[in-house]
Structures are given as C-alpha cells and as structure tokens.
Structure 1
Amino acid sequence: MHIISRAEWGARPPESRSTVPWSKRTVFMGHYSAASATQTPRQIQDYHLRVKGWSDIGYNFLINSISGVIYEGRGWTTLGAHCSGHNTEAIGVCIIGKDQPGRQDVSDAARRAFKWLYEQANDRTGKRLQLLGHRDRGNTSCPGDEIYAWLHAGLPIVGGTTPAPAKPPAAGKPAPGTPIAFPLPAGWYFGPASGPDYSVSGKYERYFKGRTDRTWMREWATQLDRRRWSIGKGKTWLGGAGNDGIYGPEYRALAEAFQRDQRLRVDGLIGVATWDAAFKNPVT
C-alpha cells in the first residue's frame, strides 16, 4: 500500500522532534478525528500547532475513513502527541472521520489500511503489539464505539484477509504508450459522486491539469484497452455506457478487476497506484 508522505500532503516542518527505539513500542492505538472525513492532514496539523500548541501533528499516521488513503504523520519512530503519558510505547493512528450511531462510518478500505499498518508495525518490531483505543488509556470517547469495538474484536475484515503491499508483476511486456502522471492532487481519486470532494466522478466536469475529469478517466480506460482489455460498448468492460468518463458501477467493476490482476488493493477507486499500474506495469 502507498503512504502519502508529509511532503506530498504539504506538511509544515516540525518545531521539534524526538525519536523512539522500536524496542519501546508495545502498543498500536486507534483514534478518530471526531470531525468530517473531508478534513485534510494539513488542517489537523494546523489545529495541533495553533490550538494545542504541539510541535507537530500529533499522530504517527492518519487514514481517511472513506477512501482508506494513508497519510504519514510523525512516522514510525517519532514520539507522538496522541495520548498523554503513553506516546513512547504507542504508535497512534487516527482515522479521519466521526462515529455516527446506526451506520458504518469506517469503510472496508479504511479498515484494510489500518490493519495493513498494524501488520507492518508488528513486522518492524518483531512482536505482536497490543491493540488499544485511545479511551483505554485516557478519559475520552475516542475512537468512537464503532472503531473501538472493531479494535477489540481483533480487526476482522469481511470477505478476506488484508492484501499485501502492491507489487507489480515480475515479468511481461513493457506497458504500451507513454506514461502519464496521475492528474489529481495527492490523496484524491476517481470514484463515486456520492463521495467527498476529492472523489472525482466526472459528473461535474471539473478541470485538472488543463483537461476535464471525464477526459482523464477515459484516458485511463483507453490505456487498459491498449493493454488488450476488452473495453467499450458491447464489450466485456464498460459494455453499457461505453468509455464515457463518468464513474459508475461499470468503471468500478473494471477498476476492481484490474486491481486484482495487478495485485493491488481492491477497492474500485482509481487512485495513484491503480493509475500508475496501467501506464507503468508490464503486461502479462
């Protein structure tokens, strides 16, 4: 899985920092931001610096509750500021979003991302870290009832296990055509119109790098056609509406099939990893 770096999301430099040896890490702690999933890491960092008076964003990592995009906070071995008195032993991961009774607020993509980070932490420490919520060590309702219950159930994932980090196929013919850089801002993706602002559907024809979102989405599907996928009206993929550039069930099904083929995280969203795989990974 790809982690959006501090540089990519525009983090301010920390005012100070202290490191923690891996030997002292014993806890993997879940948090939530208790606000809209449209919050950005930069907004959270600004709040922590200006209002809390901390030296940096408080969390080690952050995950968007809808898209499952992972953002680097302070990183693996930097002392956090997410749970007073427990920042040395605990790696703090914040799910950006809030808990609303009667509905699932944390997507399967976000759960897989959280579990992947947890497994990465276990690999790096060489031991199984204790899974806790913020409320286990502080007088708070964080991380909300939904996330808290899921943490203490052992991070079950419906429909299968957590996928391994993305790896391109080992051999095959070079990808056809000239690679095109992902056209959306960091952390954005092509996805449903019902999603947040950074879910770009093509419905509203927004412009990115001089071209409409529909044009870019058609470009991605056309590249799959160059890779010999059967795409277009009456064909295997996008057989109904064709390659019209408006994200819907057909584009989602195509994205999921391509992600499975390329051993990527299967979420049906066309983010930077899925885009790059079309233009850069060998054709097998």
Structure 2
Amino acid sequence: MDIISRAEWGARPPESRSTVPWSKRTVFMGHYSAASATQTPRQIQDFHMRVRNWSDIGYNFLINSVSGLIYEGRGWTTVGAHCAGHNTEAIGVCIIGKDQKGRQDVSDAARRAFKWLYEEANDRKGKRLTLLGHRDRGSTECPGDEIYSWLKAGLPIVGSPTPRPSPKPSAGTKPAPGTPVAFPLPAGWYFGPASGPDYSVSGKHERYFRGRTDRAWLKDWATQLGRRGWSVGKGRRWLGGAGNDGIYGSEYRALILAFQDDQGLREDGLLGVNTWNAAFRNPVS
C-alpha cells in the first residue's frame, strides 16, 4: 500500500522531534480522532500544535475511515504524542472518524490499511508488536467500542479482499453533465505516477498538452466527477487531503480506482482514454 507523505498532505514542519530505535518499539496502538471522517491530517496537526501546543501532529500514522488512505504522521521511529507515558514504546495509529450511534462504521478499506501497517511494523521490528487500544493505557473511550473489540480479537476480518469480477455499469438514468471533453493526451498515454515512463503524466512537471498544463486537465476530470455527484475536493471524501490540485498521487489513484469500479472498467488506478471518456460521456445512474 502507499503512504501519503507529509509533503503530499501539506504538513507543517515539526518544531522539534525525538527518535526512538526499533529495539524500544513494543506496542502498536489504535486510536480514533473522535471527529468527522472528513477531517484532514493538516486540520488535526493544526489542532495539536496550536491548541495543545505539541511540537507536531501527535500520531505516527493516520487512516481515513472511509477511503482507507494512509497518511504519514510522525513516522515509524519518531516519538509521538498520542498516549502519555507510552509514546516511546508505542506506535500510534489514528483512524480518522468517530462513533456513530455506537458504531464507528469503519470501512473494509480502512481495516485492511490498519492491518497492513501493523504487519509492516512487525516486519520492521522483526517480531510481533503487542496490539492495544488507547484505552488499555489511558482513561479514555478511544478508539471506540467497535474498533477496540476488533483490535482485541486480533483484527480477524481483515485481509486481502476476496477477488470478485468487475461489476457491469448500471444503465444510467441521466445524461452525463456538461459538454464532452476529448482526452487531451497522445494515444497510449495516461495520467499516472511521476515514477512511471514518459507517457505517464503526473502533473508534477507541468507539461503542456493541447495548450493547457497537465495539472489543469487532471483537475478538469476530477471536477467532472464532482458534477456527476462525487464528493471531490479538500475536506471531502475524495481528494480530501491535498484537494484537486492536479498532481497525481495516492488520492487521485484512489479516486480513479473507485470510479473505474463504479463504471465496470479495468481497475488500474491510471487515468487513460477509457476512464476519461466514461466521466464525460457515460450516463449518470
């Protein structure tokens, strides 16, 4: 899985930091933010630094409870500020969300992301860390009853999702909004990671195609999904961290994968001609 870096979500620099060797890491601790799932890591960091006067965001990692996107907080070997008296031995992972009428309603994607981080921590440690909830070491309801029960059961329902055939797109009832826009890249090219080949267009270098930057085109595609009824933009379900900035990364990849799944397209997380055309031409169901 990808981890959205501090630079990608726009973190403020820490005022200070202390590191800890893996030999002293013994606990993997689950938290929740006790706030809306639309809350961004930057909003949490601002609260921790400006209101609580901490040197940085308190958690080592954060996970969006809906999309399952993973955000880097203080990272693996920086001492956190998530559980007083236990920050040296414990890696703190916060699921961004809160209880809803007794249920936290954490998605399967978020659960898989949490377990992936746990297994990654075990690999880096070279042995299994003790799995705890915040309430095991503090007077708090965190991380909520649902997540706490799941942690104490050993993350039993999390794992690789069962393969399933791609769904066929349902028959739409409304025409696609707006005027169709032709795919702006050359044949065989796509919007994808900067680490890819030359024909993988990320927006990072602001290349021009048909008189406009790649960033502008990628933003247009995401904006079109907003017209189709998708919650897209800073603080929303999709592209909630960096917003619709036109620079391909983990958030754009997650949005593209979700749209491909919705439309019954091949799910590769890359924005090629078929995925582009589906947004501008396929009816809205």
What TM-score comes out, normalization by structure 1 length?
0.65
State yes or no: 1:176 paired with 2:188.
yes
| Structure 1 residue 29: Cα displacement | 0.1
**Equivalent position SS for 2:270:** helix
1:193-223 residue CA offsets vs partner (Å, 9 max, x unmatched): 475754459xxxx9865xxxxxx99xx79xx
2:65/2:110 contact within 8 Å kept = yes
1:193/1:200 contact within 8 Å kept = no
Structure 2: segments with no counterpart, 5+ residues: 163-186, 190-198, 204-217, 220-224, 247-251, 274-285
2:134/2:140 contact within 8 Å kept = yes
1:61/1:72 contact within 8 Å kept = yes
1:65 maps to 65
Distance 1:60 1:69 in 2: 14
| Structure 1 residue 180: Cα displacement | 2.5
Distance 2:261 2:160 in 1: 24
Q: How does 1:205-224 map to 2 (within 5 A)?
A: 209=246
1:75 maps to 75
Distance 2:52 2:104 in 1: 30
2:10/2:42 contact within 8 Å kept = yes
18 and 3 in structure 1: CA distance in 2 versus 1, 3 angstrom threshold: same
Runs of 4+ in 1 over 6 A off after TM superposition: none
| Structure 1 residue 74: Cα displacement | 0.2
2:104/2:147 contact within 8 Å kept = no
| Structure 1 residue 35: Cα displacement | 0.2
Distance 1:75 1:128 in 2: 18
1:116/1:162 contact within 8 Å kept = no
Code of the residue aligned with 2:138 in structure 1: it is G
Code of the residue aligned with 1:180 in structure 2: it is V
1:65-118 residue CA offsets vs partner (Å, 9 max, x unmatched): 000000000000000000000001000000000011354510000000000000
| Structure 1 residue 250: Cα displacement | 4.0
1:135 maps to 135
196 and 129 in structure 1: CA distance in 2 versus 1, 3 angstrom threshold: farther
**Equivalent position SS for 1:275:** coil
Code of the residue aligned with 1:258 in structure 2: it is E
1:275 maps to 270
| Structure 1 residue 179: Cα displacement | 2.1
1:243 maps to none
Distance 2:232 2:102 in 1: 20
Code of the residue aligned with 2:47 in structure 1: it is Y
1:161 maps to 160
Code of the residue aligned with 2:70 in structure 1: it is I
Distance 2:244 2:16 in 1: 39
1:193/1:199 contact within 8 Å kept = no
* Count of residue correspondences: 209
Moved more, 103-112 or 125-134: 103-112
2:13 maps to 13
Distance 1:5 1:155 in 2: 25
| Structure 1 residue 157: Cα displacement | 2.6
1:37/1:98 contact within 8 Å kept = yes
35 and 258 in structure 1: CA distance in 2 versus 1, 3 angstrom threshold: same
Code of the residue aligned with 2:116 in structure 1: it is W
Distance 1:207 1:94 in 2: 24
Distance 1:207 1:161 in 2: 29
The sequence identity of aligned pairs, in percent, is: 70
